[in-house]
Amino acid sequence: MRKPSERIVITGVGLAAPNGDSLAAFRASLLHGVSGVERYTIRYFGETLAGVCHFDPLRYQKRKDLRCGTRAGSIAIYAANEAVRDARLDWAAVAKPRVGVYLGITEHGTVETEHEIYEISKYNYDIKYWSHYHNPRTVANNPAGEVTLNLGITGPHYTLGGACAAGNLGCIQGYQQLLLGEVDVALAGGVSESIQSFGIFAGFKSQGALAEHADPAKASRPFDLKRNGIVIAEGGAVFVMERLSDALARGATIVAEIAGYAVNSDATDFVLPNSERQGECIASAIARAGLEPKDIHLVNTHATGTRMGDIQECQALRRVFGPGCRDTYFNNTKSFIGHAMGAAGVLELAGNLPALQDRVVHPTINVDELDPECALPNLVLNQPAAAPRLDTILNTSFGMVGINSVLIVKRYQP
């Protein structure tokens, strides 16, 4: 498989997570076992559990912007601005037509439509009370578009609908557009506002896939024998991505290098994952990176806490990472924050990026009794683990209607 001659690197990270509003805070929570899941009440549904973000939207937006825009847009704006700051870009000097915004989403427009139907119901559904912001709020490109409005970006922007695989897709798109020379800077990642949608909670509840637990912090428990479903979360993460030559020319600090990726489809079921296709996607990404399975030092798993979903993924992982992969560690981030849907892949990858420097693998928490069908060698449970080598990270993200995405990053080496 031919490798591109250009190298693409990450030079900035911005995020909003349920247990941290910056990479440093997020990472500290992951290393110290701090959950971001809390009790949460949603209209028509009642009390449930969710991963809720507590960032300050007014750091980068005015109150009027919040009234006109969307929650997903606000999360994206916060993460994008944080990423630009982290990358130490001289934003005033950056050529805005040469900046692209590529954000993965699970869905968009559901939240706004539900809210507006509720509001108009107070006025006997009189159309004159329908918000004239409805259309720009609900178009699929909205979160990425709101970022361009906020930052004055005149280059391309769009979102990529990829269910829960979408965060990785945003990064893959940014990578590809940089290789093609379409842009010089890519703001790439994923975003989710899912906790504001009654339909999301009701859908998972009707499937018997919504997590319940007396202690919110223990509700999200992938791989545990008593896991009982998904904790829905909001959040987002955006990376500043550049060609290596450009990053070096401006003296940027390089966080990581994009090593490989893959995307494929199960083509078998609306909901139930296909372990064989997942394994093929993982193997394809490793091959594209010019690596072997034993060269992967950390796998951040997608596992959401559903019974069959976790089992299917573990089967795929065992198929790819055999006995020779003694230096390969596995962990899970959803045990801390729940499932951030379209933001899941990139948010979870962001939380693991510091491991390239400190060589510490954050744990999967809430595993009191490991399901034997989810057993993996070097699965880090409940306490952080030091890894002898940590030069590569592989992130898995799998979504409904059978979409699979895998992204691999590695430590930058000149």
Q: Domain count of the chain? A: 2
- Look at residues 224, 249, 274 and tell me which one is the last residue of a structural domain: 249
Alpha-carbon torsion 42, 45, 48, 49, what sign? negative
Same domain (yes/no): 203, 57: yes
Domain extent for 58: 8-249
**164 part of the active site:** yes
What CATH number does the domain containing 392 carry?
Answer: 3.40.47.10
Q: Which amino acid is at 39?
A: R
Residue 55 lies in a domain: yes
Strands (E), 7-151: 8-16, 37-42, 46-51, 99-105
Q: Which candidate in 297, 339, 362, 374 is catalytic?
A: 339
Residue 402 lies in a domain: yes
Same domain (yes/no): 265, 366: yes
Same domain (yes/no): 171, 312: no
Q: Which candidate in 164, 171, 281, 325 is catalytic?
A: 164
Residues with Cβ < 8 Å from 72, sequence gap 6 or more? 105, 108, 111, 142, 143, 191, 192, 193, 236
Residue 188 lies in a domain: yes
Same domain (yes/no): 81, 174: yes
Between CA 167 and CA 359 the distance in angstroms is 24
- Check residue 1 and give its pLDDT: 39
Q: Which candidate in 297, 302, 362, 374 is catalytic?
A: 302
Same domain (yes/no): 241, 265: no
Concatenate the DSSP letters of all residues of 152-163 into one string: T--S-EEEEE-G
Residue 255 lies in a domain: no
Residue 39 lies in a domain: yes
Same domain (yes/no): 231, 272: no
Q: Which residues of the chain have pLDDT under 50?
A: 1-3
Residues with Cβ < 8 Å from 346, sequence gap 6 or more? 104, 167, 168, 170, 171, 188, 189, 190, 236, 237, 238, 239
Same domain (yes/no): 215, 290: no
Same domain (yes/no): 173, 307: no
Same domain (yes/no): 245, 375: no
Between CA 38 and CA 97 the distance in angstroms is 41
Residue 3 lies in a domain: no
Residue 254 lies in a domain: no
Q: What is the pLDDT of residues 204-232, one digit of tens each?
A: 999 999 999 999 999 999 999 999 999 99
- Check residue 5 and give its pLDDT: 74
Under DSSP, is residue 129 helix (H, G, I), strand (E, B) or coil? Answer: helix
- Look at residues 197, 215, 249 and tell me which one is the last residue of a structural domain: 249
Same domain (yes/no): 223, 350: no
Same domain (yes/no): 157, 270: no
Same domain (yes/no): 182, 205: yes
- Check residue 243 and give its pLDDT: 98
